[in-house]
Amino acid sequence: MLYDANKKSLLVAYLLWFFLGGLGGHRFYVGKTGSAVGMIALLIVGSALAAVGIGAVLLMILGIWVIVDAFLIPKWIRIKNTQLANTLASGGQVPN
């Protein structure tokens, strides 16, 4: 019961990726906060420098990063759910 209430959903992760990919929404969802903040920073800096030219390169890098993440999401969800199951099986607390 605790597992079902706390497991990560592949559908939710992909919806976050689709709608908030450039903001790292899918990365926040799976607990990859540092790289999600990096994506936001890349988006802000790239947008601010878009008129100069280097910003376009930064935004292209971000776009490639988001596309690559689409292939990594299933593995992240599988790992998160396995960690949750192992924690619950050993009598541990549900991580926040």
Q: Please say if the pLDDT value at position 39 is more than 80.
A: yes
- For the record, the structure tokens of 22 come out as 């450039």
User: Which amino acid, one-letter code, is at 7?
Assistant: K
Three-state secondary structure call for residue 17: helix
- 71: which residues sit within 8 A by CB, 6+ positions away? none
Q: What is the mean pLDDT of the chain?
A: 95
pLDDT of 55 strictly over 80: yes
Residue 96 has pLDDT above 80, yes or no: no
Give 96 or 83, the one with higher predicted confidence.
83
72-77 average pLDDT score: 99
